[in-house]
Amino acid sequence: MKADQSTNRMKDRTRHRHRLGLRRLLRGALAVGAATLALAGRSEAAAAESKTLCVFDPGGANGDLFAKMKSYQAEAVSLGVNFTLKPYTDESVAASDFRNKQCDAVLLTGVTGREFNPKTYTLEALGLFPTYAALGKAVSRLALPKLASISVSEGFETVGVYPAGAVYLHLRDRENASLPRLSGRSIATIGGDPAARTMVNRVGATATRAEVGTFASMFNNGSVDVCYSPATAYAPMELHRGVGSKGGVVRYPLAQLTFQIYVRPAEFPEGFGQASRELVAGHFSSMVKLVEREEAKVQGWIEIAQVDAERYDELLRQVRDTLKAEKVYDGAVLLLGAAR
């Protein structure tokens, strides 16, 4: 009996030593694995090309968009590029710095980035995408290799498209929500936006020149009767001050504003643009959630009658046809809207 007990104790000690040995082995393997991954990450970053990405975000380095670009920055390392992010609250300065090669890449709205790629600017065509789902489908299709030529334009390339929010009319007087009532009203119109100028002229309103950095103050202080803007700017630009108690925001999406990343493809690793478009397309849904969160802050939505919605539909269709004929809008991108 004693011999059996002694034998069992020896077996228990042996099993205990084996378990200790396995745990030590596993801890050692995990430590080596973690060290290997860390070294691989550092090696990957070291091997990546260093570039500067200038980011326009009205909130600057504390904005939601700049935070989103930090995620893009981390993921771009695997594509062979190690970006340093530089925030801008003035979009025109960001565009100028990219134009003058102070930035290797830049994030701008599609309308401001039109000079770098007028084809992908067409994603913002008036009335083309009435919903975020429709825009998202088009962005996914643009990320396909067979449509890569749309993203390349005379030495520049669009390597990512994010939703920035549907554009709505903001009124100081809610009685002006229907198209006939817009005639004779003054509308803050962004200088580099040919689509808006065409629309304003067609409704018989007065286009008052504005810039991205000035339209909100013009509306808020009463210099103009109307402005157009994505609802994402409602809170940051304090558009509630212009809307006041008598105005409102017309719940009819005139267009979809986008944020687009532009680069000079000759200065980036081969295949970077295609890989980046696929990467950014995967971020679409998370960006829409940010947009919808901001839209929920809007007070004073104005619901319009079906007859007024149909009038807007027809007006925007006419504007799209006119700008397509004038080569402002790209026909291939317009087809993406027709295919929705």
pLDDT at 167: 97
Count CB neighbours of 335 within 10 A. 10
pLDDT at 46: 54
Predicted confidence (pLDDT) at residue 181 exceeds the cutoff of 50: yes
State percent of the chain over pLDDT 70: 86
Per-residue exposure over 201-239, b if at least 16 CB sit within 10 Å of its own CB, e if not? eebebebbebebeebbebbbeebbbbbbbbbbbbeebeb
pLDDT at 64: 87
Predicted confidence (pLDDT) at residue 9 exceeds the cutoff of 90: no
φ, ψ of residue 85 in degrees (nearest 5)? -90, 140
Please indicate, yes or no, if residue 185 is contained in any of the structural domains. no
Count CB neighbours of 159 within 10 A. 27
Question: Distance of CA 204 to CAs 118, 180, 182, 187, 201, Å?
Answer: 27, 9, 7, 11, 5
| Mean pLDDT, range 2-13, rounded to an integer | 49
pLDDT at 147: 96
Predicted confidence (pLDDT) at residue 93 exceeds the cutoff of 60: yes
Please indicate, yes or no, if residue 188 is contained in any of the structural domains. no
pLDDT at 58: 84
d(Cα 172, Cα 248) in Å, to the nearest integer?
7
Q: Which of 29-33, 88-92, 260-264 has the lowest mean pLDDT?
A: 29-33
pLDDT at 25: 38
CB 139, CB 284: distance < 8 Å: yes
CB 112, CB 192: distance < 8 Å: yes
Confidence label for 211 from pLDDT (cuts 50, 70 and 90): confident
Q: How many domains are there within the chain?
A: 1
Residue 240 identity (one-letter amino acid): H
pLDDT at 45: 52
pTM for the structure as a whole: 0.83
Predicted confidence (pLDDT) at residue 338 exceeds the cutoff of 50: yes
d(Cα 138, Cα 123) in Å, to the nearest integer?
8
Look up the CATH number of the domain holding residue 138.
3.40.190.170
- Torsion angle of the four alpha carbons 265, 325, 230, 74, in this order, in degrees rounded to the nearest 10: -10
d(Cα 40, Cα 34) in Å, to the nearest integer?
10
CB 231, CB 165: distance < 8 Å: yes
d(Cα 224, Cα 220) in Å, to the nearest integer?
8
Please indicate, yes or no, if residue 71 is contained in any of the structural domains. yes
Please indicate, yes or no, if residue 120 is contained in any of the structural domains. yes
Query: Helix-strand-coil percent breakdown of the chain, rounded to 5?
Result: 55, 20, 25
d(Cα 335, Cα 288) in Å, to the nearest integer?
23
Please indicate, yes or no, if residue 169 is contained in any of the structural domains. no
pLDDT at 100: 97
CB 259, CB 109: distance < 8 Å: yes
d(Cα 172, Cα 175) in Å, to the nearest integer?
9
N residues, the chain: 340
Please indicate, yes or no, if residue 136 is contained in any of the structural domains. yes
**How do residues 43-83 score in pLDDT, each as one tens digit?**
455 567 999 999 999 889 998 899 999 999 999 999 999 99
Q: Domain span at residue 140?
A: 47-164+258-299+331-338
pLDDT at 230: 94
**How do residues 287-332 score in pLDDT, each as one tens digit?**
999 999 999 989 899 999 999 999 999 999 999 999 999 999 999 9
Q: Of 62, 141, 51, 146, give the one whose Cα is nearest residue 103.
A: 51
Please indicate, yes or no, if residue 56 is contained in any of the structural domains. yes
Please indicate, yes or no, if residue 173 is contained in any of the structural domains. no
Q: Which of 1-5, 53-57, 170-174, 225-229 has the lowest mean pLDDT?
A: 1-5
Predicted confidence (pLDDT) at residue 213 exceeds the cutoff of 50: yes
Predicted confidence (pLDDT) at residue 119 exceeds the cutoff of 80: yes
d(Cα 67, Cα 78) in Å, to the nearest integer?
19
CB neighbour list of residue 245: distance below 8 Å, 6 or more residues apart: none
Predicted confidence (pLDDT) at residue 37 exceeds the cutoff of 70: no
**How do residues 131-157 score in pLDDT, each as one tens digit?**
999 999 999 999 999 999 999 999 999
